[in-house]
């Protein structure tokens, strides 16, 4: 059985496809040295048949870092988990919460909640193959399966296969009729169902996710849960992570927004030089850095335009900073 991790990190930034790539994670890490970061979901097909270095490479500064996998074949998942372990990831997370049409056709994501025995087999095989924790991210329900009993059956079977940490996005999803974006706002969030799971399985680590935006909300959740995961708000308003560093990790050595922007310059220069990464692929994650501050709109406009110009380089940061007093 996977070891119960009693040192669970109380705050993580959610896996978000097209958003939490390695550049975004490097940026987030400058703001929050202590939280757990996640990759975007990577499917077993992409890893086995594609350019695995492109998907798995990361900067050591991003750690602690969890690799999220999407798939339903135990052997393929175990193979990919091993690759992740060899690359130095700290955790393997299995996606059982993504409702997109494309992935459900491939038996990936939320649809897996309807196949708890398959998920159990996947977890068991991964846990036998790697020596890092194996965790599962799921919803509280799916389609007409919207009850404590359904979720409890899923969690119990997957727990028996060796999973000791569940990230529960406390909103059920509809596989038909709602697109992934709508499935993040409808139907209503239900933290209570996730809390009932924690009460029924006190030995499990339960990380709650969904619509969490403030330090106070997180502190409230940490009275019932072992951890909290924050998604859209961390991406759109990344400096929130600094307030969370102070409030959740009692870290009083946080960097200012300007320091963070300036620290991205050498990173951008290195990424451009070593990997030919366009500056816009990195700066796009920084657009919300000054949210709520004077000059934020001009910073946003500058970072939305300048990195797209021919010959743009890391100096776009300094140019955009001119709008910040």
Write the interaction track for ligand FMN spanning residues 111-150; mark x where CB under 6 A is met and - where it is not.
Answer: --------------------------x-------------
Dist. CA 148–CA 152, nearest whole Å: 6
The region of 95-103, 128-136, 195-203, 278-286 touching ligand FMN under the rule CB under 6 A is 95-103
Of residues 184 and 298, the one with the C-beta less far from ligand FMN:
184
Detail the DSSP E strand segments found in 4-90: 11-13, 36-43, 65-70
DSSP 309: S
Q: Counting Cβ atoms within 10 Å, is residue 173 exposed (0-12), middle (13-18) or buried (19+)?
A: buried
Dist. CA 1–CA 160, nearest whole Å: 8
Give least dist CB 40 to ligand FMN, A. 5
Site for ligand FMN (CB under 6 A): which residue of 52, 186, 232, 298?
Answer: 232
Give yes or no for a contact between 152 and 193, defined as CB atoms under 8 angstroms apart. Answer: no
CB neighbours of residue 195 within 10 Å: 18
Cα-Cα end-to-end distance for the chain: 54
Site for ligand FMN (CB under 6 A): which residue of 10, 15, 133, 307?
Answer: 15
Tokens of 31: 């703001």
**Any contact of residue 209 with ligand FMN (CB under 6 A)?**
yes
Set 80, 96, 98, 122: catalytic member: 98
Residue 168 β-bridge partners: 138, 208
Interaction residues for ligand FMN, span 19-48 (CB under 6 A): 19, 40-41
**Any contact of residue 184 with ligand FMN (CB under 6 A)?**
yes
Dist. CA 311–CA 23, nearest whole Å: 20
Tokens of 283: 């700066």
Site for ligand FMN (CB under 6 A): which residue of 210, 238, 288, 307?
Answer: 210
Residue nearest to ligand FMN as judged by C-beta position = 231
Give least dist CB 108 to ligand FMN, A. 10
The region of 209-217, 238-246, 262-270, 310-318 touching ligand FMN under the rule CB under 6 A is 209-217
Of residues 226 and 233, the one with the C-beta less far from ligand FMN:
233
Q: Is 24 a catalytic residue?
A: no
65-70 and 36-43 beta bridge pairing: parallel
Interaction residues for ligand FMN, span 238-257 (CB under 6 A): none
Give yes or no for a contact between 82 and 129, defined as CB atoms under 8 angstroms apart. Answer: yes
Q: Which residues belong to the active site?
A: 98
Instruction: Give the binding site for ligand FMN (CB under 6 A).
Output: 14-19, 40-41, 68, 95, 97-98, 137, 169, 184, 209-212, 230-233
């Amino acid at each position: 059985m996977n070891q119960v991790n009693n040192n669970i990190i109380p705050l993580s930034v959610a896996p978000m496809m097209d958003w939490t790539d390695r550049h975004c994670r490097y940026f987030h890490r400058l703001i929050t040295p202590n939280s757990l970061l996640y990759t975007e979901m990577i499917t077993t097909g992409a890893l086995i048949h594609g350019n695995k270095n492109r998907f798995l490479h990361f900067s050591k500064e991003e750690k602690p870092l969890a690799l999220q996998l999407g798939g339903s074949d135990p052997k393929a998942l175990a193979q990919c988990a091993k690759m992740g372990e060899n690359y130095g990831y700290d955790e393997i997370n299995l996606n059982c919460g993504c409702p997109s049409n494309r992935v459900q056709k491939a038996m990936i994501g939320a649809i897996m909640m309807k196949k708890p025995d398959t998920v159990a087999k996947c977890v068991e095989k991964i846990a036998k193959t790697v020596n890092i924790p194996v965790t599962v991210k799921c919803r509280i329900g799916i389609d007409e399966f919207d009850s404590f009993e359904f979720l409890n059956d899923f969690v119990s079977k997957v727990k028996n296969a060796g999973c000791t940490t569940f990230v529960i996005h406390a909103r059920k999803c509809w596989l038909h009729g709602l697109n992934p974006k709508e499935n993040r706002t409808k139907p209503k969030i239900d933290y209570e169902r996730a809390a009932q799971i924690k009460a029924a399985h006190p030995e499990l680590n339960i990380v709650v996710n969904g619509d969490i935006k403030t330090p106070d909300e997180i502190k409230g959740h940490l009275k019932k849960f072992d951890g909290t995961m924050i998604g859209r708000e961390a991406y759109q308003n990344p400096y929130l992570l600094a307030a969370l560093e102070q409030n959740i990790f009692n870290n009083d050595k946080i960097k200012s927004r300007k320091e963070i922007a300036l620290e991205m310059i050498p990173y951008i220069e290195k990424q451009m030089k070593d990997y030919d990464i366009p500056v816009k692929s990195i700066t796009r994650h920084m657009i919300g850095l000054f949210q709520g501050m004077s000059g934020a709109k001009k910073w946003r406009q500058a970072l939305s335009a300048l990195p797209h110009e021919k010959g743009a380089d890391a100096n776009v940061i300094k140019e955009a900073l001119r709008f910040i007093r």
